[in-house]
């Protein structure tokens, strides 16, 4: 089955809420009507393929169609990877008040080890490159080999001074927390030896 036909099946199933039997009838009609450009038989979906595509689209555990809501689900299931989440306010168009801070232990360690010596910078080339055109800011630093390494990422509804101050203060808090955990003996030094 062609990817285009699969997308049409998913569209009819989700947007128009059509059952599999109606989708099959519509597809057969489309294939029969176009005599000038007939669809090859190997491109036509079988009955089981249509049923499977519709069932897949209607599964309860399928992710939301809105990427901003997907991030909320991701934040709930992965609190170790998200250091800040503010859900979008859908009362406004486009949605406002949305912000998500993404972290990784490696990024926090890079910020701690190299940020003070080499400084940190922002990479905003990813702004407006996602589905909701939400600005993305990536905090970076340079390691001892002169390579750019990531620290943290921040996806937000806008790039304003208060948003950036919020991002920087939360990132600073993560680095300070890691320092405190090291001093208190909650973290081992063995991983940091890999950087030397």
Residue pLDDT, tens place only, 123-144:
776 655 555 566 788 899 998 8
Structural domains counted in the chain: 2
Q: Lowest-pLDDT range, 81-90, 140-149, 183-192?
A: 183-192
Locate the DSSP E strands across the chain.
82-86, 99-102, 120-123, 136-142, 148-156
Determine the distance from the C-alpha atom of residue 71 to the mean position of all C-alpha atoms in its chain, rounded to a whole number.
6
Q: Are residues 45 and 81 in the same domain?
A: no
Q: Do 29 and 50 share a domain, yes or no?
A: yes
Residues 178 and 121 grouped into a single domain: yes
Q: Are residues 34 and 78 in the same domain?
A: no
d(CA 101, CA 84): 5
Percent with pLDDT over 70 in the chain: 81
149 contacts 138 by C-beta, under 8 angstroms: no
Q: What is the mean pLDDT of the chain?
A: 79
For residue range 47-100, what is the model confidence (pLDDT) as tens digits?
A: 887 787 777 766 644 555 567 777 888 888 888 999 999 888 878 776 778 889
Q: In 33-98, where do the E strands start and end?
A: 82-86
Domain identity same for 107 and 144: yes
Higher pLDDT, 1 or 136: 136
């Amino acid at each position: 089955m062609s990817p285009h036909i699969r997308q049409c099946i998913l569209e009819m199933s989700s947007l128009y809420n059509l059952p599999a039997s109606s989708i099959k009838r519509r597809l057969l009609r489309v294939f029969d009507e176009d005599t000038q450009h007939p669809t090859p038989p190997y491109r036509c979906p079988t009955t089981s393929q249509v049923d499977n595509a519709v069932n897949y689209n209607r599964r309860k555990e399928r992710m939301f169609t809105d990427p901003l809501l997907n991030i909320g689900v991701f934040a709930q299931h992965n609190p170790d990877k998200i250091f800040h989440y503010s859900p979008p306010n859908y009362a406004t168009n486009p949605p406002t008040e949305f912000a998500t801070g993404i972290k990784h232990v490696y990024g926090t360690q890079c910020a701690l080890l190299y940020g003070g010596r080499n400084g940190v910078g922002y990479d905003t080339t990813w702004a407006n490159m996602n589905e909701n055109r939400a600005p993305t800011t990536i905090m970076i630093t340079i390691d001892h080999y002169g390579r750019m390494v990531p620290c943290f990422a921040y996806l937000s509804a806008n790039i304003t001074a208060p948003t950036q101050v919020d991002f920087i203060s939360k990132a600073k808090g993560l680095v300070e927390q890691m320092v405190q955990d090291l001093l208190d003996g909650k973290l081992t030094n063995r991983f940091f030896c890999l950087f030397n």
